[in-house]
Amino acid sequence: MRIGTVLDFGRPMAAVGEEIAAWEEAGLASVTLGEAYSLDAPTQLAYLAARTTSVELATGVLPLDTRTPTLIATTAAGLDYVSNGRARLGLGPSGPQVVEGFHGIPFADILGKTRETIEICRSVWRRETLKHDGRHYQIPMDPSRGTGLGKPLKLINRPVRSDIPISIASLGPRMVELTAELAQGWEPIFFYPEKLPHVWGEALAKGNAKRSDDLGPLEIIVRAPLAITEGDPSQWIDAAKPQLALYVGGMGSREKNFYNQLVSAYGFADEAAVIQDHFLAGRIAEATAAVPDELVRATSLIGDADHIRQRLTVLRDAGVTLVNVTPMTTDPTERLEAVRTAATLSKEIS
């Protein structure tokens, strides 16, 4: 099991680079940067490539509809090039708020687009003359649909790797099944390891049954707030609740909120409804207070070293291969030591 981190938006990159370089020396193995309606992730990860030597650099995630599949492929290949083979392409559907509200593109046909995007990316990285005739993408364009001037091309450069790892952030059963079939990694958010068989077991089994042996075992990549404390962890549990309240209550509409559905599937349907009611009514403090302590404890790493070790063991036994921790303290020294401790504990149980 490896320990990585997920970066927040908006911090000065010089400060981020300095911190990640120190964390790399402390045992950090991976860095993930998301992209919703923020600054683009690959540019910032390329900066970190120049400040580090060994950590994996992952997009987490690039929303599918924000780029053509070919641009996704060349962007990942470019990041892999500047990092000398350390890139991971994290893909995800995002959601209607980002895709429709920020990009003005209908949020639809995610399964088909994901499958075709992966096929196109891998063809580009193999430097094949690109020909793709799918339902969603036709490359080159059919003359009946355009000017007819397009000719099949292949990538000019030789990529560092002809098969860059792909991870998919998926939650719904059909998308999780597709992930287990086609991707190297799966990135579920708010991962509750004890609930894995109940919520995703069937979908993972169906996908793995169709999985190519060439892909190897499916990696499970999760995120967890991290606070290592010998005292009462209550303040840190409370500090982790606002993010859960935001996602469960406010990321999406009342009718379509993937995170609300996930928490409901975990067994917190009543609590999820209360959180959403408060959040959509603007009662953010009440929504935050309604987040169950049990949900926070199950989806985070908060407690003393023995507790952290125990939770890492549970994650390992559930098949998790990479835990992206987010130190909750703002003190730079404490943040570094938290990462160092987590990396040490992960090695002890591996």
Straight-line distance from the first to the last Cα atom of the chain, in angstroms, rounded to the nearest whole number = 6
Percentage of the chain lying above the pLDDT 90 cut: 88
pLDDT at 151: 85
pLDDT at 329: 96
Residues 320-345 have pLDDT tens digits of 999 999 999 999 999 999 999 999 99
In one letter, which amino acid is 273?
A
Please give the structure tokens belonging to residue 156.
């000019």
* CA–CA dist 78, 188 (Å, integer): 26
| Backbone torsions φ then ψ of 256, nearest 5 degrees | -140, 95
pLDDT at 252: 78
Statement: residue 144 has pLDDT above 80: no
* CA–CA dist 220, 191 (Å, integer): 10
Statement: residue 147 has pLDDT above 70: no
DSSP structure class, residue 149 = -
Statement: residue 169 has pLDDT above 80: yes
Given CA atoms 207, 208, 209, 214 in this order, what sign does their dihedral have? Answer: positive
Domain ranges of the chain: 2-226+304-349, 231-302
| Alpha-helical segments (H) within 61-220 | 69-82, 96-99, 110-125, 173-182, 196-209
Pick the range with the lowest mean pLDDT from 5-19, 29-43, 131-145, 154-168.
131-145
338 in Cβ contact with 227 (< 8 Å): yes
Q: CB atoms < 10 A from the CB of 201, how many?
A: 12
The answer to whether the pTM exceeds 0.85 is yes
Please give the structure tokens belonging to residue 36.
């919703």
What is the band of 148 on the pLDDT scale with cuts at 50, 70, 90? low
- pLDDT average, residue stretch 175-194: 98
pLDDT at 40: 94
pLDDT at 10: 85
Statement: residue 170 has pLDDT above 70: yes
DSSP structure class, residue 213 = G
- pLDDT average, residue stretch 111-127: 98
What is the band of 96 on the pLDDT scale with cuts at 50, 70, 90? confident
* CA–CA dist 120, 165 (Å, integer): 14
Residues 267-310 have pLDDT tens digits of 999 999 999 999 999 999 999 999 999 999 999 999 999 999 99
Closest by CA to 301, choosing from 220, 348, 238, 236, is 236
Residue position matching structure tokens 């169709």: 210
> Topology of 2-226+304-349 in CATH?
TIM Barrel (3.20.20)
User: Angle at Cα 205 formed by Cα 202 and Cα 208, nearest 5°?
Assistant: 150
Residue position matching structure tokens 């998308």: 175
DSSP structure class, residue 144 = G
Give Cα 268 to chain centroid, integer Å.
23
Residues 213-249 have pLDDT tens digits of 999 999 999 999 999 999 999 999 999 999 999 999 9
Residues 29-79 have pLDDT tens digits of 999 999 988 899 999 999 999 999 999 999 999 999 999 999 999 999 999
| Alpha-helical segments (H) within 137-233 | 173-182, 196-209
Bridge-partner residues for 202, per DSSP?
none
Give Cβ neighbours of residue 278 (< 8 Å, ≥ 6 apart).
249, 284, 286, 287, 290
Give Cα 224 to chain centroid, integer Å.
12
pLDDT at 141: 82
